[in-house]
Amino acid sequence: MENNVNGLKESLPMKSLLILYSYHHHNTEKVAKVFAKVLDAEIKTPKEIKPEELQKYDFIGFGSGIYSAKHDESLLNLADSLPRVTNKKAFIFSTAGITGKSKASNDHTTLREKLESKGYLIVDEFQCKGFNTNSFLKLFGGMNKGRPNDKDLKNAEDFALKVKENNIQKDN
């Protein structure tokens, strides 16, 4: 706590970071940009991050497209290289060709387990559909054309507002 000019106690601002890998159609990047605005967060790629840098941040979102039923290797490798923390709050996000509650939970398991093993507390998870032209799908114009759409991005905004209220504002 610090005193402001009026002598009132004021908290230091929480610093949030989003670590993003999004290459196929930049679907997950669209979602991350909405999160970044609400959470006032920087966006960096796993390659841009030095593991020890994460100690500067209080709240971290980890996300990518889902490729072969998990997050991108660069994100998984980063998670492996992170120093141990004690209950640092984080959330996981992704876009995928096929979605659903248990699908998302399964897709996120590899990253979740790695982060939890490093002491991160995963407070929430978000997934929505993303345009997918992988493999033979491109022959048929792809699946989920136009996704994430406005409704997906509104859901992303609502998710970010909820995690902000529950995990950032309350702690200040």
Ligand X SMILES: Cc1cc2nc3c(=O)[nH]c(=O)nc-3n(C[C@H](O)[C@H](O)[C@H](O)COP(=O)(O)O)c2cc1C
Q: Which residues partner with 17 through β-bridges?
A: 42, 60
Q: How far is the CB of 52 from ligand X (least distance, A)?
A: 27
Q: How far is the CB of 130 from ligand X (least distance, A)?
A: 2
Q: How far is the CB of 53 from ligand X (least distance, A)?
A: 23
Tell me whether residue 46 or residue 130 sits nearer to ligand X (CB atom).
Answer: 130
Q: How many helices (H) and strands (E) does the chain have?
A: 4, 7
Residues that bind ligand X (CB under 6 A): 22-29, 65-69, 95-98, 130-132, 134
Report how far apart, in Å, the C-alpha atoms of 60 and of each of 19, 39, 43, 89, 108 are.
7, 10, 10, 7, 15
Point out the residue whose Cβ comes nearest to ligand X: 130
Tell me whether residue 79 or residue 96 sits nearer to ligand X (CB atom).
Answer: 96
Q: How far is the CB of 114 from ligand X (least distance, A)?
A: 18
Phi/psi region, residue 74 (left: phi>0; alpha: psi -120 to 50; beta: rest), is: alpha
Tell me whether residue 108 or residue 164 sits nearer to ligand X (CB atom).
Answer: 108
CA angle 33, 39, 41 (to 5 degrees): 65
Tell me whether residue 160 or residue 168 sits nearer to ligand X (CB atom).
Answer: 160
| Helical H segments across the chain, by residue range | 27-39, 73-81, 101-117, 150-164
